[in-house]
Amino acid sequence: MEIHSKTLSNGLQVVHADAPDTQMVALCVLYNVGARNEDPDHTGWAHLLEHLMFEGTPRVPDYDSRVQFIGGENNAFTNNDFTSFYITVPHEHAETAFFLEADRMQGLTLDGRSIEVQKQVVIEEFKQRYLSQPYGDVQHLIRALSYRVHPYRWPTIGICPSHIKCATSDALSDFYRRFYRPDNAILAVAGAITWEETLSLAKKHFELNWSSDDRLKRASAGLPVAPERLNIECEPPQQRLRRKTVYRDVPMDMIALAWHMADHFSPDFYVCDVITDLLAAGQSGRLAQHLISEQSLFNQIDAYITGSSDAGLLIIEGRLNPDVTLPQAEAAIWKETDILRKEPVGDYELEKVRNRFESDRLWSSINPVNVAVSLAQHALYATTPAEEIRRYRAVTAADILSTARQVLTHKNCSVLHYKAMPQPH
């Protein structure tokens, strides 16, 4: 895959990959803003802004209808580090996609009606997915237990619905102006479009709409001319094991262990990724083989990394079978992590997870939307899809042993016991 990249005069980074075997064009606009950019007393706003970006502009009052009219599809997602918007259209309507994304970057409508509508939508999502759904508050609990100062201590949805409810039009407009701008964004384009056409349309619709005059107007209005760069406090090293036990109306007990790990720019990030794949890449992963198939301790168990820009978490979580106690389950997990800390991984097992990782990445590159979304994220982390595969494959058994000994320790761990409330007889 040949990748082109150029930063426009207004700071927008444009990346491109050609895919001539499709008639579709996919655009992804990634804004370098997520839950980590929020105030602790006003959380969930990045996710709320994601919803509001579909409310339209003075030139395009209904974004979704315009996309559907040209036979396109679109969606978005927000996490703790960034917000991505993606759209797929037939090649003949590629310019419309550029126009639509540039238009809502420059002139989003943030009136009282649209804000109130989307606030209610997000609050209802909060209630249904995080407050009412079984195990819905697990991420809130794990993050609050693991982090003391870093904004990763709350999930993307926010700390509580009241933070969404109190968002005002002026405050949201300020948030939008601070972060949803070309010099804080990446435009990734993939599919049936050349690099020359991509660059021409990007300049026409994104660069010309953000001239030096706009910067002068922003400065005179007291608005930031350069993208916001918050001084986010680093999480200090954890010095002792943390524990929390909660009781919830759920069908079975659950346990989660979370260890602090390296940020996305560190070589150890890929080592931790390999570790979780060794533990939980499908039914052949160690946790499924040992703790489900052989010992019947769990009916479901997983291991994953949060994939954070700053120092993130390596998490193992599982739901227990009946008559299995939480101390039993926790001891079994510690036994598996101790093996990683003491015994080198065999060549066959390591090559198996390498091949699985590479095949998953190559398979996803068939879809131009996946390519565009991936390109934007790789640009954010100053890498490429091919480089990511190379770094993952470069992880050795010695790397795993060293990183496991450093990361998978008791003092670096936070343990959540999530107990089912006793049922009345």
In a domain, 229, yes or no: no
Dist. CA 159–CA 143, nearest whole Å: 10
Do 277 and 168 share a structural domain? no
Dist. CA 26–CA 372, nearest whole Å: 6
Buried b (16+ CB within 10 A) or exposed e, 385-416: beebeeebbebeeebbbebbeebbeeebbbbb
| Other beta carbons within 10 Å of 106 | 17
Residue 42 DSSP class: B
Q: Is pLDDT at 323 greater than 50 in this prediction?
A: yes
- The pairing of strands 185-191 and 13-18 is parallel
The pLDDT assigned to 293 comes to: 96
Coil, strand or helix at 180 = coil
For 325, the domain range is: 242-420
Q: Looking at this protein, which amino acid is placed at residue 283?
A: Q
Do 308 and 163 share a structural domain? no
Do 283 and 162 share a structural domain? no
pLDDT band at 1 (very low <50, low <70, confident <90, very high): confident
Buried b (16+ CB within 10 A) or exposed e, 118-148: bbeebbebbeeebeeeebbbbbbbbbbbbbe
In a domain, 232, yes or no: no
- Give the distance from CA 391 to its chain's centroid: 20
Contact call for residues 22 and 191 (beta carbons, < 8 A): yes
In a domain, 56, yes or no: yes
The pLDDT assigned to 283 comes to: 86
Do 387 and 302 share a structural domain? yes
Final residue belonging to a domain, choices 220, 251, 280: 220
Residue 330 CB-density burial (10 A; 0-12 exposed, 13-18 middle, 19+ buried):
middle
Dist. CA 411–CA 277, nearest whole Å: 23
- Give the distance from CA 345 to its chain's centroid: 29
pLDDT band at 227 (very low <50, low <70, confident <90, very high): low
In a domain, 233, yes or no: no
The pLDDT assigned to 369 comes to: 94
The pLDDT assigned to 208 comes to: 74
Global confidence as pTM: 0.93
Dist. CA 128–CA 132, nearest whole Å: 5
Do 282 and 180 share a structural domain? no
In a domain, 425, yes or no: no
Dist. CA 122–CA 120, nearest whole Å: 5
Do 191 and 247 share a structural domain? no
In a domain, 343, yes or no: yes
Total domain count for the chain?
A: 2
Which single residue is written with the structure tokens 């049922």? Answer: 423
The pLDDT assigned to 212 comes to: 44
Q: What is the CA radius of gyration of the chain?
A: 23
- 189-200 pLDDT, tens digit per residue, is 999 999 999 999
Provide the edge-to-edge strand list for the sheet that holds 83-90: 3-7, 13-18, 185-191, 24-31, 83-90, 73-78
The backbone torsions φ and ψ at residue 244, rounded to the nearest 5 degrees and listed phi first, read -150, 140
Dist. CA 18–CA 113, nearest whole Å: 41
The pLDDT assigned to 228 comes to: 54
Do 131 and 86 share a structural domain? yes
The pLDDT assigned to 252 comes to: 96
Do 122 and 37 share a structural domain? yes
- 109-118 pLDDT, tens digit per residue, is 999 999 999 9
Do 322 and 178 share a structural domain? no
Do 191 and 253 share a structural domain? no
Contact call for residues 353 and 278 (beta carbons, < 8 A): yes
Buried b (16+ CB within 10 A) or exposed e, 285-321: bbbbebbbeeeebbeebbbbbbbbbbbbbbbbbbbbb
Q: Looking at this protein, which amino acid is placed at residue 284?
A: S
Instruction: Summarize the confidence of residues 182-209 as an average pLDDT.
Output: 94
E strand or H helix that includes residue 186: strand 185-191
The pLDDT assigned to 219 comes to: 46
Residue 91 DSSP class: G
Show the tokens assigned to 238: 């954890």
In a domain, 228, yes or no: no
Do 131 and 26 share a structural domain? yes
Dist. CA 420–CA 326, nearest whole Å: 11
Q: Looking at this protein, which amino acid is placed at residue 384?
A: T
Tell me, what CATH number does 359's domain have? 3.30.830.10
- 121-164 pLDDT, tens digit per residue, is 999 999 999 999 999 999 999 999 999 999 999 999 999 999 99
DSSP state letters, 292-315: IIIT--EEEEEEEE---SSS-EEE
In a domain, 200, yes or no: yes
Do 76 and 115 share a structural domain? yes
- Give the distance from CA 50 to its chain's centroid: 13
- 89-101 pLDDT, tens digit per residue, is 999 999 999 999 9
- 44-80 pLDDT, tens digit per residue, is 999 999 999 999 899 999 999 999 999 999 999 999 9
Give percent of the chain with pLDDT exceeding 90: 86
- 377-397 pLDDT, tens digit per residue, is 999 999 999 999 999 999 999
- 263-312 pLDDT, tens digit per residue, is 999 999 999 999 999 999 888 899 999 999 999 999 999 999 999 999 99
Which of 315, 38, 33, 230 is closest to 153 using CA atoms? 38
